Chains A and B, each alone.
Chain A
Amino acid sequence: MQIRAPKTKRAKRELDKRAPKLVENVKKTLILHGTKTSAVLNSVLTELYHLKRDNAVKFSKKNENIKPFESGGETSLEFFSHKTDCSLFAFGSHSKKRPNNLVLGRTYDHHIYDLVEVGVENFKSIESFEYDKKLAPKIGSKPLFAFIGEEFESVDELKHLKVVLLDFFRGEVVENLNLTGVDRVFVCTALSSKTILLMHCALRLKKSGTSIPRMELVEVGPSMDLVVRRHRLPSESLLKEAMKTPDHAKKIKNVTSDVIKGKTGRIYIPDQKVGDMPLSNNIKGLKRERREAKQNKESKKRKTESE
């Protein structure tokens, strides 16, 4: 066995960035395509990349041995996910049976966690929208989400798609948010039990009487219809493991910290039952008794001997 450790501090830092942590990094997305793509699909993938510029990796080569829904076709994806440290991926392919196919997937520990296969229809690219360029949302801003439709709750596929889309476009989970930085929203409307309309809009905040500004939506970004074709939910054990939250600090009973005394605790001693306790053999008080007992024994002996 040999220890292989990085030789430079920089390499060590990079490896530590990819280590599992309590509070995780932003999920990175891997965008790639299979052997055959259509023009529509190409623009879908590029625009997805533009939306997620800071934390996305786009591959330009054709990958013919990636078939996410088949058991053997996932190894390449897992390998790429491991190499680029991406836990989300968007795989585009085009065939006669499944035109403009987009597989959105998530990984856990660089193994496939779940998949949703959607078909892209009625795609409108960013260039086709005309709007005031000053409104354009900035890269990396946290988006708002609006999901419309009861189907997102009732239909399994759409329920799954909802969480996947949320995961995809959410970005960093932050505690403090700068209110001037909210400038985009994703509006997803369920059109039927299998189709949704996804729109990306910029926000314009308008003055209103109160401190809360009035919101106005301006469509800027790609708009497409997503038709859910297949999906694969994660296995029970994997789901349970991935949803684990770090243990909250266990409450230690009986210990308090005082400013003056410091850390104090209470000790509970059980009652001493004085009457039942056996006496030890070395008590000073018993000396006389023992001495007397000895003397009596000796005198008795002498008596019997003399007799």
Chain B
Amino acid sequence: MEGSSYQIDLGNLMAYDPNHHFQSIPSSRGELVNHCLEKGTEMVQAIANSLFSLPSTESRDGPVVKLPLPTTKLPREKHLPKPKPPTKWEEFAKMKGIKKRKKNKRVWDEQTSSWKRTHGYDRANDDRDIPILDAKSTDEVGVDPFAKRSAEKKERVKKQEKSRLENLKKAAKAGALPSHIQLAATALPITGTKKDVPKKASKDELESVAGMAATSTASGGKFDKKLPGEKPPKHSGKHRKFLPVVEGKGIGSKEKQQTEKILNQLLSKSSHEILDVNKAVTMFNVKKEKQRKKDKDANPGKSGKLKPNKKSFKKTSTKKKP
């Protein structure tokens, strides 16, 4: 056996014997194990020697030593964190020399004369809690100043969100996106053709589907809770006209009309007369009138006054014969 010059890495509590090799592996397993244990004990003793000779401090659990850094380099499990690029505001503040000011958690609220928190629920100096706004000369007459203020706030919030997104995109480009944030693209799916993209349902489609769903309920959708802005369901389908229950003596006029209508339809189907007299008379009269008008236009010399040559715009030639 060589002299015990082991390579000791105290940071990893490791000892390595580079000078050992088996001339012949011991025949039995037990011998091999014992041999290894012996060698192991020696090396562990060597580690312990250097370990226990380190300066130790007494703690309640026992002696504590400060280990040196490990010498065997092992790979990291994740990449090194990249520094965040400064945000747009930070760059501006640096240029102007603006320094951050420490804000208090509680601020004095004038309105309620109490200390309230600066941000969050029931905060001090909230924009929405102002009861009275003085009218300025620049204000228009019909404008609601409170609505205007809340609209302005919404605009500011939207702008801030946009700036935040821009800053995060910049950070993501530099590879330094904060670990708890992900940027998700709200784009069309990349796979497939345009056909595979689920089509957005139109308003009419949605209405019809909602109507169908409503009518399939037990009460025909009459007592369903309506969402704000939802129109009442249209009754498409067969309508039946029911005659009034009471209408004078005997057979009422409406009932008479109804039965007449049905009878006429029945009879006309079985009648052999092709000519509808009333219709024929009306058509003849209309034709006669038209002819008379035409003759009048054609002979304008009847009257003394000079009349301009009126051109009739009616297309009498294309009139179809019934």
Seen from chain A, the residues whose Cβ lies within 8 Å of a Cβ on chain B are 1-6, 11-12, 15-16, 18-22, 24-25, 27, 87, 106-109, 113, 122, 142-153, 162-163, 166-167, 170, 173-182, 185, 187, 189-192, 197, 199, 201, 203, 211-217, 219, 223, 234, 239, 241-244, 246
Q: Which of A19, A217, A239, A241 contacts B44 (CB 8 A)?
A: A217
Question: Given A145-B12, A187-B36, A239 and B17 touching (CB < 8 A)?
Answer: no
Q: Is B77 an interface residue (CB 8 A)?
A: yes
| Cβ-defined contact, B44 with A148, below 8 A | no
- Tell me, in angstroms, the Cα distance from A177 to B32 when the chains sit together: 32
- Tell me, in angstroms, the Cα distance from A166 to B63 when the chains sit together: 25
| Cβ-defined contact, B44 with A146, below 8 A | yes
For this complex, 14 residue pairs linking A to B, each with C-beta atoms less than 8 Å apart, are: A3-B165, A21-B81, A24-B76, A24-B78, A144-B13, A147-B17, A166-B74, A178-B61, A178-B64, A180-B62, A217-B37, A223-B33, A242-B76, A243-B76
| Cβ-defined contact, A191 with B22, below 8 A | yes
Which residues on B sit within 8 Å (CB–CB) of A215? 41, 44-45, 48
| Cβ-defined contact, A16 with B179, below 8 A | yes
A sample of 13 more A-B contacts (CB under 8 A), given A108-B79, A144-B13, A189-B40, is A1-B186, A3-B168, A5-B180, A12-B180, A15-B179, A19-B81, A108-B76, A146-B39, A150-B21, A175-B67, A176-B66, A185-B40, A242-B76
Question: Given A166-B14, A191-B25, A217-B37, A2 and B74 touching (CB < 8 A)?
Answer: no
Question: Given A175-B67, A180-B61, A4 and B40 touching (CB < 8 A)?
Answer: no
| Cβ-defined contact, A1 with B36, below 8 A | no
| Cβ-defined contact, B67 with A16, below 8 A | no
| Cβ-defined contact, B77 with A152, below 8 A | no
- Tell me, in angstroms, the Cα distance from A87 to B74 when the chains sit together: 13
| Cβ-defined contact, B81 with A20, below 8 A | yes
Which residues on A sit within 8 Å (CB–CB) of B209? none
| Cβ-defined contact, A18 with B179, below 8 A | yes
How many whole Å from B36's CB to the nearest CB in chain A? 5
| Cβ-defined contact, B48 with A213, below 8 A | yes
Question: Given A178-B59, A178-B63, A144 and B14 touching (CB < 8 A)?
Answer: yes
| Cβ-defined contact, B76 with A187, below 8 A | no
Shortest Cβ distance from A26 into B: residue: B77
Q: Which of B12, B20, B66, B181 contacts A148 (CB 8 A)?
A: B20
| Cβ-defined contact, A213 with B62, below 8 A | no
| Cβ-defined contact, B56 with A241, below 8 A | no
| Cβ-defined contact, B53 with A212, below 8 A | yes
Q: Is B107 an interface residue (CB 8 A)?
A: no
| Cβ-defined contact, B63 with A180, below 8 A | yes
Q: Which of B32, B37, B49, B184 contacts A219 (CB 8 A)?
A: B37
How many whole Å from A239's CB to the nearest CB in chain B? 7
How many whole Å from B126's CB to the nearest CB in chain A? 24
| Cβ-defined contact, B76 with A244, below 8 A | yes
Shortest Cβ distance from B32 into A: residue: A197
| Cβ-defined contact, A163 with B22, below 8 A | no
- Tell me, in angstroms, the Cα distance from A148 to B66 when the chains sit together: 26
Which residues on A sit within 8 Å (CB–CB) of B180? 5-6, 11-12, 15-16, 19
Question: Given A6-B180, A20-B80, A201 and B40 touching (CB < 8 A)?
Answer: yes
- Tell me, in angstroms, the Cα distance from A179 to B65 when the chains sit together: 7
- Tell me, in angstroms, the Cα distance from A170 to B180 when the chains sit together: 29
Which residues on B sit within 8 Å (CB–CB) of A181? 61-62
* In the complex, the 9 A-B pairs of residues with the closest C-beta atoms, listed nearest first: A19-B179, A242-B75, A87-B77, A180-B62, A187-B40, A20-B78, A145-B14, A15-B180, A146-B43
- Tell me, in angstroms, the Cα distance from A142 to B64 when the chains sit together: 13
